[in-house]
Each structure stands twice: as structure tokens, then as C-alpha cells.
Amino acid sequence: MKTLDINLGIDSYKILIEDDILSRLSFYIKEVYKNKKVYIITDDTVKDLYLDKVINSLKDDYQIDYVVVPHGEQSKSIEMFIHVCEELLEKNIRRNELLIGLGGGVIGDLTGFVASSLYRGIPYVNVPTSLLSQMDSSIGGKTGIDFYGRKNILGAFKQPKMVLIDPLTLNTLPKREFNNGMGELIKHGAIGNKKLLDLLFDKPRIDENIIAESLKVKRKVVEIDPFDQGLRMTLNFGHTFGHAIELKYGYKHGEAVAIGMLMAIKMGEDLGVTSKECYEPILKILKLYELPVDNYDYHDYLLDVLNDKKNLAGVVNFIFLTKLGECTITKISEKEIKENLL
């Protein structure tokens, strides 16, 4: 068992990572929840795989009800938010009763947002089942849905009471979904944990140790910058160029981040910020996990980066590696990009 304490004052919580923790959920949930009724939110795929197991592990201690939504990003919608809230109210949920999100990042974000809104806030526990959600989205309290054609545009910061991670659930994850998570996992190693990169070179099973090492990188950042006002943007390493190619070429997010990291390393090298020792190891590790490493020249995407809505007041915050396991934020003005870099 690996335990991580996320220290955020009264919103502090624990992340527990252990094989087969799904069979022992109520033992741990009892630490943070004393009432009788729990409501599980899950998707149809995860329901078929794990809902019975989860119900079995809770049924001696809790009355259980559940809401199932279709799998996939389309469930992070205002319609599904309304549907889940209506179902829960129909089931007569009270403000001191617990939601449990069982699923990938979509379920975590949706459940957390419902938990932040219903009765102005009810408790929730996250049980992430995809690699992306286990090593990234389950920590940091960002919740929300897509709206107005934009991702995560309605949301709230809402910390869970506890996060319970069972690495064995990764055994059923489709390969492309697994790779999607690996892109972000390698990113965590690259920006903040050289030891994690070294471990990954041996292509180990993604177990509690690897997941904990990845979460430690994000913990360090979200404890300092819980509301995404500065340092947290370092988690966007590989995303600046990744976003520019993701939709254009139909990559999954983690795949685009893999390519975006290589583009950012090249740019960082050219600006003298990134050590020449970064590119080859990151390329090697991405290939090892069968992530795409297509070679795009970053110069060709700088205009897309400038047009990205995230870039405010004519200044772009680029995240560059300084060396393996360390990164920095470099502000570059639109003027400088246009005059010197295009």
C-alpha cells in the first residue's frame, strides 16, 4: 500500500494505492464518512467490469444506489450533469450523503462537479480506474464539464474526501487508453521526477509505486498552487504544441502531449534553456511505450500557439525542461515570437 497525504488545510485528503483495494473500499471509506447511504456514479463500461465488485465491498456497511452514464467525453456535458443531479434528487439524496466516482477522468470530473454543486457541496470519494485518472486527474480538485464547444469550461475546484486507487483495474484498460495515460505519466517524470523516468526505462508493470511517483510530481505543484494561478501551469509541458496538433491530426490527448513534449524540447534547446541531454532519453521512452513520435517542426505551429485562447495579453508562457526531471516557465511575447522565432 502506498499512501500520499495531500496537504490543503481543511481540504486535505489521502490517496491510497493498492492492488485489489476495490475489495476493501468500505474499510477505508469509513475513515472519512460516517453516514449510511452512498451513491456511486459510473459509466456503462466500468459498470460492467467493476460495479458488482464495488457493491460487494460496500454492502455490509452502506446502503448503495448508483447512476450510470454512457462512457466517453460526451458524458462531460450539461445534459449529463442535469441527468445525474435529477437521478440523485429522485433517489432523495441528502446533503450529508456521499458520492463515489467510479471510472476514468470523465467520471471523476463529472462526479466532482456534481458534488461541488448539489446542495452547494456534498462529500465525494474518487475511485479512478483508468491510467490517466489514477496518475493525474484524481489529484488536484479540478472538476467540471465541457460546454459551449469548449473543454472544462464549467467547473469548480472541489477536493475529494479520499482517493482510492486499484492498479489492477489497469489490466482491463484498452491499449490506446493505456497509452493515453502513459503520455501524461512520462510528462510527470520529465518535469519533476527523474527517478520515475529511470524506473520507466525498465518497462515495469504500472503498479502502486509508479503511480505514487507520478502523483508526487502533481502533489508538489497543486499543494503550492491549488487554484492554478502560476506554478500549476508547469503541468502543461507538452500541451502548448500538443493542443496545436491534437485536433488537427486526430491524436488522443496523451499522444499529442508526447509529440508536443518533443517539440517543446527542440524549442527549449534552440533558446538555450533545455539541456541537449533531454531529447534522446524522452524520445526513447516514448517509443518504448509505443507513443507516437512523429516529427513536427515547432516553428510551423507557433502561429497556432499565438492564436490559442489561453495566451493572454500577447505573452505566451512556455514550459521548457531545463534538464531531465526539472522544468521552468519562460514568458515570450507575441512580438518576440513574430520577429525572431517564426
Q: Which residues make up the interface to ligand GLY (CB under 6 A)?
A: 140, 142, 228, 232, 235
Residue 293 engages ligand NAD in binding (rule: CB under 6 A): no
Strands 13-17 and 2-6: antiparallel
Rounded CA-CA distance 275/229 in Å is 27
Residue 198 engages ligand NAD in binding (rule: CB under 6 A): no
Give the nearest distance from C-beta 220 to ligand NAD in angstroms. 15
- Phi then psi for residue 154, to 5 deg, are -110, 125
8 A C-beta contact, residue 137 and residue 181 = no
**Residue number, 77 or 317, with CB nearest to ligand NAD:** 77
Angle at 208 between CA 203 and CA 214, to 5 degrees: 75
**Residue number, 187 or 266, with CB nearest to ligand NAD:** 187
Residue 234 engages ligand NAD in binding (rule: CB under 6 A): no
* Residues 89-118 contacting ligand NAD, CB under 6 A: 103-107, 109
Strands 13-17 and 326-333: unpaired
Rounded CA-CA distance 82/69 in Å is 12
Residue 130 engages ligand NAD in binding (rule: CB under 6 A): yes
- Out of 4, 16, 22, 46, the only residue in the binding site for ligand NAD (CB under 6 A) is 46
**Residue number, 24 or 232, with CB nearest to ligand GLY:** 232
Residue 45 engages ligand NAD in binding (rule: CB under 6 A): yes
Give the nearest distance from C-beta 297 to ligand NAD in angstroms. 27
- Phi then psi for residue 129, to 5 deg, are -120, -10
Site string for ligand NAD, 141-160 (x = CB under 6 A): -x--------xx--------
Give the nearest distance from C-beta 170 to ligand NAD in angstroms. 6
Which partner in ligand GLY, ligand NAD, none is near 235 (CB below 5 to 8 A by kind)? Answer: ligand GLY
- Phi then psi for residue 17, to 5 deg, are -125, 120
Q: What are residue 321's DSSP bridge partners? A: 327
Q: Which of left, alpha, beta for 244 (phi over 0: left; psi -120 to 50: alpha)?
A: alpha
80-88, 129-137, 194-202, 267-275 -> range binding ligand NAD (CB under 6 A): 129-137
* Residues 166-195 contacting ligand NAD, CB under 6 A: 169, 172-173, 177, 180
**How would DSSP label each residue in 43-102?**
EHHHIIIIIHHHHHHHTTT-EEEEEEE-SSGGGSSHHHHHHHHHHHHHTT--TTPEEEEE
- Burial of 37 by CB count in 10 Å (0-12 exposed, 13-18 middle, 19+ buried)? middle
**Residue number, 121 or 314, with CB nearest to ligand NAD:** 121
Rounded CA-CA distance 165/136 in Å is 12
* Residues 15-44 contacting ligand NAD, CB under 6 A: 43
85-93, 125-133, 207-215, 304-312 -> range binding ligand NAD (CB under 6 A): 125-133
**Residue number, 112 or 268, with CB nearest to ligand GLY:** 112
Rounded CA-CA distance 22/56 in Å is 9
**Residue number, 138 or 193, with CB nearest to ligand NAD:** 138
**CB atoms near residue 258 (< 10 Å):** 31
Give the nearest distance from C-beta 130 to ligand NAD in angstroms. 3
8 A C-beta contact, residue 158 and residue 212 = no
Give the nearest distance from C-beta 165 to ligand NAD in angstroms. 11
Contacts to ligand NAD by CB under 6 A: 43, 45-46, 49, 71-73, 76, 103-107, 109, 129-130, 132-133, 136-137, 140, 142, 151-152, 169, 172-173, 177, 180
